[in-house]
Every structure is written in C-alpha cells, then in structure tokens.
Structure 1
C-alpha cells in the first residue's frame, strides 16, 4: 500500500472517531443521546439511525428526552427475552434502545418510543378516541398486539405516531 494513501487513511479514521465521539454524548435538537454499548458496529449503527430520525421529529416531542443505546440495561429484564428492542421509561423521560438485536431498526424503535412518550406526557390517556379504535380497530389495527403488559391504546398511538413521522 502506498505510504501517502495509508497516512491519509489513518488521518481520516482518526477524524471520523473524533466526530463520532463528539456526538455520542451531546445535546442535539433538544435531547441527549448516550451510547453505553461501546464502539461496536451495531452500537454505532443504532446511534446513527437515532440521530438521523431525531431531526425528523418536532423539537417539542423530544425536549428534555434522554436516549440510551444500552442493551444490557435492567429495563429489558422486565420483558420476555428478546421481545423489546426499545422501551420508554416515563419516570426518567428516557428511551432505552438495544443495539445487540436488530440495530438496523433503531430509528423506527426510537420514533415508536417517542410516540409512547408523547402519549404519556400530552395526556392522551384521557382521550376517548383510542379506546374506540381499540374496540373497532379495522383490518390494519387489528394486527397490532401489545407486547407483555402494554396497553393497547398506547401501542395504537405509538404506531400511528411512527407512521406519521
């Protein structure tokens, strides 16, 4: 390999590492993103997809929100193994996303979990629309089944939010 090419390649890799580390724990568009899964390819992919999707969401929906790429967090132990790719924790106003299973879906998981957060923070649980949709869901919404103990209305709202964004 040509020595000039090799030195340029090394400099490019170092610059890429600096840019990635600068964005891993920084304020971007009103939310905090923290990658706790390290420098694996899956974690970097999940982080990039979350950043990409975050620019599509209105700022008021993700204001003061923390997103953790953290596959080993205890919040995932509450669900059946391998079931959840992401969880919204209202007490923390945080989203936890796994990068060890299907990291290519991290962007969609992020948007869906933002939908969960919007449902809880904007008072949609008092709405009569979602219970009515749950009673007569139609062909598309009939296929939406909430995982574990999740309420059907929350899942319907989160899926609709994901489709909207």
Structure 2
C-alpha cells in the first residue's frame, strides 16, 4: 500500500462496479473472455472505502485445458456418458473453453449459477442434457446440481478442473 491507496484485484463483475466508468472496458473484457482467458480486474482506492476506485486494468490469464481433454470427452460420449462443465469462470470464458475442447453441446446452453432454478426438479430438467455449461457457480451450486441429477437417476462424477460427467445408472 503506497500513499494510503489500497490495490484491489478480482473478478471484473465484482471490481468494475466499484470503479469510475472506463470507456471500452466491457468490450475489452468480452474480447479477452471470448478467447478463453480468465480475466482479473485491477483497481486501487482509499483504504477506508471500496467505491469510486481508480481502474488500473484487466489481466488475462491463459489457463489451457490439458492436452488429453478433447479425446477424453470423445471417449465419454462414445460410452454414452453425458458431459457438463460446471465452473466458477465467467460465462464467456467457459463457453470458449467448452467449444475449444468439443464439450459445448448442439444447443450451446450456457447458464450462470445466478440463473439456476431454485427448485431441484426444474434444475435437473434444465441440466439433464449433454454439453451444458454452467458458469459462475459457487460450491453449494455444484452440490445442488449433483443432487438434482442424481434425483433423475444419474450417477454423477466430478473431476478436477472444469468438467463433470453423468450417466444413467
């Protein structure tokens, strides 16, 4: 901290509303996210208040999927396994990565945790398809998703980064 100014970094969705308006930042964010980059916003402001911050910039982090992901997705689908991506990433980033590895389904359904139905039956119905992407989820959303799909007769397995698989039992 220099001169009473506190640096702040975080998801653009959380940081940008705290900053003075910056022309073109939304377009820059969209371009970066559409390339599959994880984006952080950086700002600084008074230590006493988290508002009227000075926007410093966007940082794009390239976090590529493992080399074997596309082949694993193909093998799962050959075996009849439905796949979904459930991630904390920005929806545009999640869509780009899902498309890159061949996970994004024909419907190109991308929903956010905030848009998920509160009713578990409706949630299961929404997500009971192959290639759905659920972005900006919290850990409790992941548990609800697993519970909703299990209630529809699925066996649910979650793997490390950015992928879960379901199949009928």
Q: TM-score, normalised by structure 2?
A: 0.30
Higher helix share: 1
TM-score, structure 1 as length reference: 0.30
Question: Structure 1 or 2: larger strand share?
Answer: 2
